[in-house]
Chains A and B, each alone.
Chain A
């Protein structure tokens, strides 16, 4: 029953109410959109193993990462998941290369440096590998975060509002990176964002979340055309 891709179902009444279920196929970008407090970040954290819901199931490529019925729960370090945090969450005491290398502990020590360098050049950061996060710009830090997430050789890539902390121009560049990456990686990718334009441009499918429930799933152009959805998302942005 090895079903490729990500399948998620999460249910709990509190403290953060959730009732979601969706799938994401390999190579597909699924956007999670919704007003603040809708539970989007919670869903990502639950998939990564940083948050445990009362009930639900998370399966990836046939392997079960979480199943409340059988009591299976893999801690985050046992899941091969790539998570790009909103505020990069880089290790401040390590250089860019060392940051990436942390995620390479599965590989023999001798290979780690060259692999880290390769990943950094993939995100166009050659020459900056010895710099510490404090010495990098916001956009550069996010690239390191992406490289580190990829270094894990993840089965799922999760992006939690990855570009909200950078300026517009950098954001456009980084979005282009994601588009390029998506062609190379054949894994499910989840993108949580506030930015409706961004999700329209990057996502293959959208999941609209409101107060922990999925209201609607579908292609961006279809979903975003609906007036109720636009009101929900843009009304919130205007406010």
Chain B
């Protein structure tokens, strides 16, 4: 490969963000498997302190099942978490008005993540992006793959099939002003089986905004694989929260192993 492309690929690979994902169910930190079976992990503030000490690139907090249960975001908890966070922080879950968005930013969060409500009202993406800039607006796309290998965007914590195609919706969200796409494979979420690289490749090649791949990380090689598929950032849950698959909770960030895996791309 000619030198300039090598340089650009190097610039790209070295800049991929690795993002621990923390799921909140009320005031508890939990971890789900394929969006169900929420298992208790621990105290969210302590966990965020550990990731802060480990100097992770960014943290993503998801208030899960908020829209489904019609719950507002827990502003107090989000603010307490943001105070411990000296790295970028995004929050998603239950943001359904400019007023909620404003309150989330006031908690000290840099980016809001929009899900179900954005599917119902795509113009809400534009409103947020006009007000706060597209760099502050992430659109979460939760994807389920059917038995016939068809991809569909799901809403309401994976319970409602919107019949939207992931790439089509990603392009629409980008056009509306989304600055990033958080692309989650529900089938892989919490499984440790590796990312759905086919899905990531299709979506990241089809939009010009960064795509954060989520769902399936189980080892550093999975992370480097999904970066090769075009992900600009990689979101990781279980692997950073448990010792190993099937073992107990251990908040960890194997920075060196991930860097080695990325460097070997």
Physical interaction between A and B: no
B residues adjacent to A (C-beta < 8 A)? none
